Amino acid sequence: MASSQILITLDTSRSMFRSDYKPSRFNNALDAIKLLVSKVLEKDATNSFALITFNDSIKKMNDFTRSKDEIFNSLDELTLKGSSSLGEALGLSIKVIINELRKISDQIPRILLISDGNATQSAIDPLKMAKLAAQLNIKIDTFRLGESSHLNILKRLSDISKGKYYFSNDKETLKNSARSYYKSSLSDLTSQKDNVIKNPQYLRKIAASLLRVQDLTKDQEQRLKQIRGVANYKKCSICFSEKDPVTKGSFYLTGRFCPNCNSPFHVHCLAGWADSQNESHLKRSGTVRCPHCYYLLKIPSEVTKAKRLKALTTHNRPRGEEKKEFPAYQTSAEELGIEATYSSCPVCNMIFEKTDEIIKCGNPDCGALYHKNCFKELKGNICRSCGFKLILDSEE
């Protein structure tokens, strides 16, 4: 039987103080969560929970854990304040789940949102986050606490993401929600037959982009030098040399790091490693598990096709010499249609919304798509996917 993973996203804003539930909405929410966590972990010790809280700020209290005590300890130290940043909380929840999916992927974790639905403080539209969740097959289940004069946004979040919605208006109905959720969600998860997680397009969507030497933060570089040694941290952990065995170029050109464990490899060595593995669904998706930490990685598009490999070999010259540039184009998800639907941004790793403005890499062998704001974060306008400098048309 597959394990269930539930990420609890809990409202800790001031309105949860309200005493329409005795002694307060919040106390009852804590009781319901503890009941749920106890039951689910009793049923199967390989089930796990994560916890995110939100008020003016959002906080990841626990990453996925099988320990009841860890979750309970976090719950016991919570305090209420401010208003609720619901959109931001869902954004972080989706990120935590994507990170989990990259580590292990046999089930897609669910989000259980517990709130009274006063989403007054959100700069990020919660509905937009629900649509993003829906595209990733992440279900948002909701325990809605108490009557509200606002639009029933919580119900809409669950509807959009095909999650379950429970309304309660007192202690007893909330407990009942927890009980029936525990029964239905577990049977639901274990009977889930559609194996979306092996779908190549899905894998490509959630896989992490590799880091280039210049993408490393100062801290990451420092840590790498400590662990692997100053002389070795740019040596490929597959072929054990600095020079790329295919292009004969330096590590700066075709060397990349795993964003999770920071192991170094040449893109060609990693692609070769991918070919030697026998997981056909990974191969078809152009993704590979890191040989060291098993994190799901995206093989750069320039090495997924022989033609692209050739282009890279002929264009790459040692650092310092003149490099070829390509234009970049402003476009939108709406204009690109299906192309945008099945891509993700190499900077934030998120997929695109219909309303997003997009910058497209003009290298015909690459065509990477970036969110307009993410594109601004590229160092020296170098495309993260193909490594060529991009000139944005409006900058001329």
Interface positions with Zn ion (CB under 5 A): 236, 238-239, 258, 260-261, 263, 266, 269, 290, 292-293, 295, 345, 347-348, 361, 363, 366, 368, 371, 374, 383, 385-386
CB of 322 to Zn ion, least distance (A): 18
Q: Look-up: residue for tokens 């204009």?
A: 335
Per-residue b or e along 224-241, where b marks 16 or more CB atoms closer than 10 Å to that residue's CB: beeebeeeebbbbbbbee
Least Å from the CB of residue 41 to Zn ion: 29
CB of 367 to Zn ion, least distance (A): 7
For Zn ion, the closer CB: 178 or 290: 290
Query: What minimum distance in Å lies between the beta carbon of 389 and Zn ion?
Result: 10
Distances from the Cα of 344 to the Cαs of 85, 133, 156, 181, 358, in angstroms? 25, 14, 25, 33, 11
Outline where 245-379 has alpha helix (H).
251-254, 267-276, 280-285, 306-315, 333-336, 338-341, 372-375
Q: Quick one: 53 or 263, whose CB is closer to Zn ion?
A: 263
DSSP state of 104: -
Give SS3 for 368: coil
| Nearest-approach distance from CB 212 to Zn ion, in angstroms | 12
Nearest CA to 112 out of 192, 5, 6 is that of 6
Q: How far is CA 195 from CA 277, 285, 300, 313, in A?
A: 20, 15, 25, 38
Q: Which is nearer to Zn ion, 288 or 345 (CB)?
A: 345
CB of 284 vs Zn ion, minimal distance in Å = 21
Which strands sit side by side in the sheet containing 58-65, from one edge to the other?
A: 58-65, 48-54, 5-11, 110-115, 140-145, 165-168
- DSSP string covering 177-203: HHHHHHHHHHHHHHT----GGG-HHHH
Judged by beta carbon, residue 189 or residue 374, the one nearer Zn ion is: 374
In three-state form (DSSP H/G/I as H, E/B as E, the rest C), the secondary structure along 221-260 is HHHHHHHHCCCCCCCCCCCCCCCCCCCCCCHHHHEEECCC
For residue 324, how many other CB atoms are within 10 A of its CB? Answer: 11
**Nearer to Zn ion by C-beta: 97 or 368?**
368
Q: Find the shortest distance in angstroms from Cβ 220 to Zn ion.
A: 13
- Beta bridge partner(s), residue 370: 359
- The answer to whether 65 and 109 are in contact (CB under 8 A) is no
In angstroms, what is the minimal distance from the CB of 317 to Zn ion? 17
